[in-house]
Amino acid sequence: MKIIYTTDLHGSTWKYKRLTEIAHEQGADIVINGGDLLPKGGDLFSQDRFIKKELNEHFAFFEDAGIDYLCYLGNDDLRIWDNIFDETCVKYSHVHNIAQRKVRIRDIDFVGMNWVVDYPFQLKDRCRVDKDDYEFQFQLGPGVLSTPDGFQRIKDWFKYARSLPTFSQELDKLPVPENMNKAIYVVHMPPSGLGLDVCMNGAQVGSKALYDFLLITQPLLSLHGHIHESPGISGTWKTILGNTICVQPGQMTSFIFVVIDTEKMEIIRHDYRS
């Protein structure tokens, strides 16, 4: 089975167009889009327009082509659009919103999760502390949550975050695959300690809880994103944790994606410039 994986497209229409072309050229069976699908710049409260028009048309292509499309919204996509996104996905039998869900295609279980470990930025819609002993990063402003009436400021983000389930607990709540040897996890957040989580300043911000989870569960593959520049900074986009192959292709001004052949277990990273 041939899978195309990309992530963090942030509403780039030319990258979405190129993705459809590549899926056709490569004869893809499945496309996985790993979060942060919507435009990041400008008015985030207009992101629903992108879902209703561009994503709707994008999904229609894959429906007509009979290619399964797995995706979810990411930390820069407002949670207030989750219902509209879900309603758009369910219009198509080949499009699957895998946020905190499991989808079985052929003999492979795909499990998705779009929570991220807390970061310095203000939008906290999908943020969690990693573990109970998590130490917060320096914050660039007061935390906010999206509401239909605009951003709601959180009076005490640190206290509020501690009242939520941890990232570790969210992992434990995920649906369990039938066979881990044929399971692929699509988790927007990268694990720590593998070179997949390195920021421009050299800081490593991945999830220790996710590292532990993958080391214990040992799925066939884990696919990540979130830290766009990490492969360019660390030089690592693919590594092995036990028997699990962990992939974080990154995403920059060029269009970056990987092609995965599950029969040969061959994974090739592509960097396409417009």
Instruction: Give the domains, in start order, of the chain with CATH numbers.
Output: 2-272 (3.60.21.10)
CA distance 85 to 99: 11
221, 240 Cβ separation under 8 angstroms: no
Read off the pLDDT of each residue in 49-72 and give the average, rounded to a whole number.
Answer: 98
Q: Is 90 exceeded by the pLDDT of residue 274?
A: no
Q: Is 70 exceeded by the pLDDT of residue 33?
A: yes
- CA triple 96-98-103, angle to 5 deg: 70
| pLDDT > 70 fraction of the chain, expressed in percent and rounded | 100
Q: Give residue-wise pLDDT tens across range 168-219.
A: 999 999 999 999 999 999 999 999 999 999 999 999 999 999 999 999 999 9
